[in-house]
C-alpha cells in the first residue's frame, strides 16, 4: 500500500512543485484548516470525485479536529480532477462553491498552466478555510504534511 504514495516520476516542472507547496503553506498560515494535493497519472475505472474521496480517507484526512481538511486531486494523463472537502468545510461553503473552484482550475489546465491552476485552487480553498476556520495562535497545529503526494 505504501508504494502507492512514493514519487515515481515528475508530473510537472520542479518550479510548479515549489509553487504548489508554497501555496499550501500560505493557505494554511491563516486557518486551522488543512489542504493536501495528490497527483497521479491515471484515474481508471473510477470517477475522479470517488477517487479523491478514497485518497482522502486513505490519508486519514478526516481525522482533523474540526473536520476541515480538503484534498485537491489530479490525474494528469486521464485529465481528471476533483476537490473533496470534509464535512466541516463542505457545510460552510456548499457544492456550488466547490464547482466554481474546479471550473477556475480547469481554465488554467486548458492553457497548460497546471502548477498555477493547482496553486490558485489551493489559495481559494485557503481563503474559504480562513473565513470559516480562522487561525488560532494558542491551539493551531499543522495536522497534515504540506508536501504534494505523488501516486502512480
- Interval 71-114: pLDDT, tens: 999 999 988 999 999 999 999 999 999 999 999 999 999 988 99
Q: Which domain holds residue 132?
A: 15-150
Supply the pLDDT for residue 4: 52
Cα 131 to the center of its chain, rounded Å: 18
Q: Is residue 96 part of a domain?
A: yes
Query: Looking at residue 38, which CATH number applies to its domain?
Result: 3.10.310.50
Q: Is residue 3 part of a domain?
A: no
Identify the segments of the chain with pLDDT beneath 70.
1-9
Supply the pLDDT for residue 66: 92
Q: Is residue 10 part of a domain?
A: no
Nearest to 108 by CA among 41, 10, 12, 7: 12
Q: Is residue 7 part of a domain?
A: no
H-helix or E-strand spanning residue 83:
strand 80-85
In angstroms, rounded to a whole number, what is the distance separating the alpha carbons of residues 9 and 54?
A: 22
Supply the pLDDT for residue 140: 74
What are the beta bridge partners of residue 41? none
Say if CB 39 and CB 74 are below 8 A apart: yes
Cβ-based neighbours of 111, under 8 Å, separated by 6 or more: none
Q: Is residue 60 part of a domain?
A: yes
Give the burial string for 11-36 (b: 16+ CB within 10 Å, else e). Answer: bbeeebbebbbebbeebbebbbbbbb
Domain count, the chain: 1
In angstroms, rounded to a whole number, what is the distance separating the alpha carbons of residues 64 and 85?
A: 12
Q: Is residue 2 part of a domain?
A: no
Amino acid at each position: 500500500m505504501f508504494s502507492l504514495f512514493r514519487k515515481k516520476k515528475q508530473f510537472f516542472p520542479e518550479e510548479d512543485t515549489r509553487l504548489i507547496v508554497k501555496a499550501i503553506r500560505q493557505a494554511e498560515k491563516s486557518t486551522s484548516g488543512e489542504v493536501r494535493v495528490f497527483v497521479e497519472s491515471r484515474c481508471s475505472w473510477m470517477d475522479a470525485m470517488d477517487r479523491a474521496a478514497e485518497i482522502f480517507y486513505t490519508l486519514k484526512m478526516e481525522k482533523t479536529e474540526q473536520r476541515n481538511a480538503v484534498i485537491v486531486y489530479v490525474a494528469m494523463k486521464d485529465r481528471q480532477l476533483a476537490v473533496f472537502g470534509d464535512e466541516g468545510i463542505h457545510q460552510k461553503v456548499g457544492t456550488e462553491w466547490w464547482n466554481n473552484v474546479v471550473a477556475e482550475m480547469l481554465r488554467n489546465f486548458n492553457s497548460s498552466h497546471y502548477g498555477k491552476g493547482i496553486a490558485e485552487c489551493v489559495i481559494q480553498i485557503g481563503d474559504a478555510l480562513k473565513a470559516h476556520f480562522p487561525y488560532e495562535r494558542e491551539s493551531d497545529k499543522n495536522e497534515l504534511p504540506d508536501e504534494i503526494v505523488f501516486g502512480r
